[in-house]
Amino acid sequence: MDYQALLERIADEVAPLVGSGTPAGYIPALASVDPSRFGMAVADLDGRVYGVGDWRTPFSAQSITKVFSLALALAEGGDSLWERVGREPSGNPFNSLVQLEYENGIPRNPFINAGALVVTDRLQTLTGDASSEVLEFLRQESQNPDLGFDADVAGSEQEHGDRNAAVAHFMASYGNMDNPVPALLEHYFWQCSIEASCADLALASRFLARHGLRADGSRLLTRSEAKQINAVMMTCGTYDAAGEFAYRVGLPGKSGVGGGIVAVVPGRCTLAVWSPGLDARGNSVAGVAALDRFTTLTGLSVF
C-alpha cells in the first residue's frame, strides 16, 4: 500500500476541518497552541514510518500516555491490576467523580482520569518512578532519545489539578491507592506532559499491532494482553465518545486533549494524528475525520 500518497490525499480532504474546535482551555499551557497545525503518520510492522504535515512536530501527548503506562503496569505486575480498575465505558466525562462513590472507589476503566491514576499508582509501586518508566519506554520504542517532559505543561496541570487531586484522595479513602497522593499526582502530571510527534507515537504504539512484541523483537505483553488493551482502547479510548469513534473509525484508539490520537490496525500498522482543535468531548475534530478517511479509503477497520 502506498501510505505516503494515501496520507497526502487524507490531508487534502480534511484541510477544511483543520482549525475547527478549540484547544484545551482548562490547561493554560495547551490553550495557546496554534489550532491550524495538522500532522499524521503511519508506521508499519517493520518500523517504516510515513507522514504528512506537522508529523515530526512534538506536541503534548497527554492521555495518549495512558496506553503506555497501562501496558507497562500489566507487563510488570500482571492482571491483578484489573481488581482495582474496571474495563467498561464510563459514559461520563473523563474527569468525573460521579461513579466512584457508588462503585466503591473502583474506576470504570484505565483511560478516564480516575482509572489512569490507579494505573500510575500501580506502576509507581512496581518501578519506583512511574513517569520516567513511561518516558524511557517511549524513547526506546520510538528510537528517539530526545523525547522529554514539558515542565511548563506539567506545572500548569499541577496548578490546575484540583479535580484530579479530589479523585485521587477519594479513591484513597476506599483503599485504592498505595502511594501518597501528592507523589502520585506529580508522576501523573509529568507523564501527561511528555512531548512526542506523530512519528514518535506511531512507532511507539507498534507493540499493539505486533501482538505484544517490542521494536527489538522482545515480548512486552502476551498476545492476550495486547488484545485486551486494544479492546479497552476500542470501548474506552476516546472518553465518552467511544461509540461514535468506533462507528466512524472502527479501530482501537486513544486520544489526548493535546489534540493527538493513536490508532491500531492489529497485524498491519499503527497511526498517529495531531490537530489541536477539540470537539466538546475532548477529541481532535480534524484528527477523528482523518482516521475516518483512512479506514474508509483502505477498508482497514477491525469490523
- Per-residue pLDDT band for 93 (boundaries 50, 70, 90) equals low
Query: For residues 205 and 138, what is the distance between their CA atoms, to the nearest angstrom?
Result: 9
What was the pLDDT predicted at 92? 64
Radius of gyration of the chain from its Cα atoms, rounded to whole angstroms: 17
Catalytic residue, candidates 14, 66, 119, 131: 66
Annotated active-site residue 102? The verdict is no
Q: Which residue has the cell 482543535?
A: 277
Q: How is residue 190 written as a grid cell?
A: 509529568
Q: Which residue has the cell 487534502?
A: 12
Contact of 187 with 169, CB cutoff 8 Å: no
pLDDT tops 90 at residue 31: no
pLDDT tops 70 at residue 295: yes
pLDDT tops 70 at residue 95: no
- Per-residue pLDDT band for 29 (boundaries 50, 70, 90) equals confident
- Per-residue pLDDT band for 239 (boundaries 50, 70, 90) equals confident
Closest CA to 272 of 258, 281, 176, 282: 258
- Per-residue pLDDT band for 170 (boundaries 50, 70, 90) equals very high
In which element (H, E) is residue 184 found? helix 181-192
pLDDT tops 90 at residue 169: yes
Is the pTM above the cut of 0.75? yes
- Per-residue pLDDT band for 99 (boundaries 50, 70, 90) equals confident
| Residue 231 exposed, middle or buried by CB count within 10 Å (0-12, 13-18, 19+) | middle
Query: For residues 50 and 189, what is the distance between their CA atoms, to the nearest angstrom?
Result: 30
Annotated active-site residue 3? The verdict is no
What was the pLDDT predicted at 68? 98
- Per-residue pLDDT band for 12 (boundaries 50, 70, 90) equals very high
What was the pLDDT predicted at 91? 66
| Residue 128 exposed, middle or buried by CB count within 10 Å (0-12, 13-18, 19+) | exposed
Catalytic residue, candidates 50, 118, 188, 205: 188
Catalytic residue, candidates 60, 63, 90, 205: 63
- Per-residue pLDDT band for 98 (boundaries 50, 70, 90) equals confident
Catalytic residue, candidates 18, 257, 265, 285: 257
Catalytic residue, candidates 90, 239, 249, 264: 239
Contacts 24+ apart (CB under 8 A), 232-236: 232/70, 232/87, 232/109, 232/110, 232/111, 233/67, 233/111, 233/208, 233/264, 234/302, 235/87, 235/88, 235/89, 235/109, 236/87, 236/88, 236/89, 236/90, 236/108, 236/109, 236/110, 236/111, 236/112
Annotated active-site residue 239? The verdict is yes
- Per-residue pLDDT band for 94 (boundaries 50, 70, 90) equals low
Q: What is the mean pLDDT of the chain?
A: 95
What was the pLDDT predicted at 37? 97
Q: Which residue has the cell 480534511?
A: 14
